[in-house]
Structure 1
């Protein structure tokens, strides 16, 4: 079964099982009840965990209980039933479109290749995990496309504009790692021995890194406003914090506004399973732009060719 899912999914499931393990201690598989699940949900919410994260934990537990049901070791799957309840429905975060000025301030604050990672997210609409796992063999400059592995371990191809092609061409190559977006690593220890040279590799926890940069910009601005207030000057904050994922939203709206493609082509570029998700971006367009986005036929230009040498596509 492990070979049928991606590495990230496997790691997420095992992490979730580790989290709920304390609630299952001493219980046989047929003793996990509705109250057990309710206790997990209450405890997780008490420490501020989001509904989306709780659902991921319950999904992992549900897979175990589902297997037990199939093997006739128990009856019913309370984790699955809990996820179907109205109380566990996920609320979609509102779409935020970061301003050019704010994006450039974050890029200026970010170090090294992380600057390029931010701009790539804006120019391709790719999710953070899709970019940090991108390898050089996944970039085809001749066909002006990249091949990314998205949700559900599904691979799709994303087309590149002239600006995006220039960006990828500017990224320095480090032969010690396959990652397109790499950091030089840090000195430390491996077991009992010191690591003599920094080891380059892909960025880890890019959303957290990104949040640190936006937070530091906001803090510096707040300090400047406070100093001005002491001298009788009144300054208004100009920086609005946003998430790494909001760059994906900005790409989608820019894509439709520019007339580069319609709503159905954008669905392919973004990797949305449902067109209803893609249609959320229509609300940011004028009536004329909406009509154009809906009327344009689907194009599959980047997807009609396969990247040579890739497996698992």
Structure 2
């Protein structure tokens, strides 16, 4: 595990990825203990993933576990601590495609913002606005530093795979971020100056950012009972951003850049949200159908 940790750091993986891969690998190794690493085969990995499914893990979670195990053995091979990778040629689970994501309507987003109150109102407002109106991930907000906000109205974001992207911000959102810096507590850290700081002067954690969203959603559901059945989370605000972009006519390639998706297939799920074109296409079929269809049936 120490070799794996060094390997992941040298590869520049984010802390979130390192933690996820570490936890998955430890669970796998516990499941095969006391078997020697050199004796592990494809069946051991398949058994572990099968047991994970029985415990309720979905396809996405199982695929991540497989990626973790595969990376672990790749690291050992590269560090000359293993010769084979039992997970190397295992196929990932087929996931549902084109599943319509959960999102909030524009009117619901507006009402959500009215529920952001308290001592950290400006900070929390900025966090939720970045998710809903700039499409940022929780981890990206967590990693933001003061110097990432530029006077020209853009913000530079370190996304998945340690890839940077520049996102032009709407002026009202840029103004809120500038205001956030004015009331920001001075960080008690070293060289980095985190954009969002806790009351103790530390970089705001991923979990705290999620809590800000969860608490706001809880109040929103009381305000709008129809939302009580919706599974809302901070990531759903990113879905809301993508939905608004598609409805505004943003092309899929541009949306891919804004969201920081590596593959356009990931972005394409949002093309199924707005069905106006589908309604128009099927409405044209009505003109081609016999007007006396009911009489034909009789």
Match of 1:11 in 2: 19
From 147, 161, 165, the equivalent of 2:170 is: 161
State the number of aligned residues.
255
Question: Which of these residues, 189, 201, 204, is aligned with residue 203 of structure 2?
Answer: 201
**Change over 3 Å in CA distance of 1:257–1:200 after alignment to 2:** same
- The whole-number CA distance in structure 2 between the counterparts of 1:48 and 1:211 is 23
Q: CA deviation at 1:10?
A: 2.5
Name 2:294's counterpart in structure 1.
none
Return 44-53 or 149-158, whichever deviates more: 44-53
The answer to which structure, 1 or 2, has the higher relative contact order (CA under 8 A, 6+ apart) is 2
RMSD: 3.0
Query: Whose helix proportion is higher, 1 or 2?
Result: 2
Q: CA deviation at 1:156?
A: 1.0
Structure 2 distance, partners of 1:65, 1:200, is 35
Where 2:157 maps in the other structure, the secondary structure is: strand
Partner of residue 239, structure 1: 227
Distance change in 2, residues 1:72/1:116 (3 Å)? closer
Q: 154, 161, 164: which one pairs with 1:152? A: 161
Alignment check: 8 A CA contact 2:138 2:206 kept: no
Aligned to 1:214: 217
- Unaligned runs of 5+ residues in structure 1 are 185-197, 222-235, 291-313
Superposition deviation, residue 250 in structure 1? 1.6
2:124 aligned residue:
114
> Which of these residues, 234, 241, 245, is aligned with residue 255 of structure 1?
245
Question: Normalising by structure 1, what TM-score?
Answer: 0.70
Deviations along 1:115-149, one digit per CA (max 9) or x if unpaired, are 32112211111111111211111110x22111111
- The C-alpha deviation readout for 1:128-183, integer Å capped at 9, x for no partner, is 1111211111110x221111111111111111111221221221322225222233
Structure-to-structure mapping, 1:175-194, within 5 angstroms: 175-176=186-187, 178-184=193-199
Cα separation, 1, equivalents of 2:277 and 2:220: 36
1:114–1:24 CA distance, 2 compared to 1 (3 A):
farther
TM-score between both structures, scaled by the size of structure 2: 0.73
Q: 1:146 to 1:49 in 2, by over 3 A?
A: same
Secondary structure of 1:210's aligned partner: helix
Deviations for 1:204-239, whole angstroms, at most 9, x for unmatched residues?
323355335434654x57xxxxxxxxxxxxxx9333
Distance 1:210 1:43, change over 3 A: farther
Q: Cα deviations across residues 48-71 of structure 1 (Å, max 9, x unaligned)? A: 233322222221211233355675
In the other structure, the counterpart of 1:302 is none
- 1:31 lines up with 2:39 in the alignment: yes
Task: Give unmatched runs, 5+ long, in structure 2.
Answer: 1-6, 281-298
8 A Cα contact 1:110 1:213, kept in partner: no
What is residue 306 of structure 1 aligned with on the other side? none
2:166 aligned counterpart, secondary structure = strand
**Structure 1 position 7, deviation (Å):** 3.3
Q: Does 1:98 find its partner at 2:104? A: yes
**SS of 1:179 mapped into structure 2:** coil
CA distance in 1: counterparts of 2:211 and 2:58, whole angstroms: 16
* 1:26-49 Cα shifts (integer Å, max 9, x gaps): 222221123321331233223323
Q: How far is 1:25 from its partner?
A: 1.8
Tell me how far apart the structure 2 counterparts of residues 270 and 245 of structure 1 sit (CA, whole Å): 12
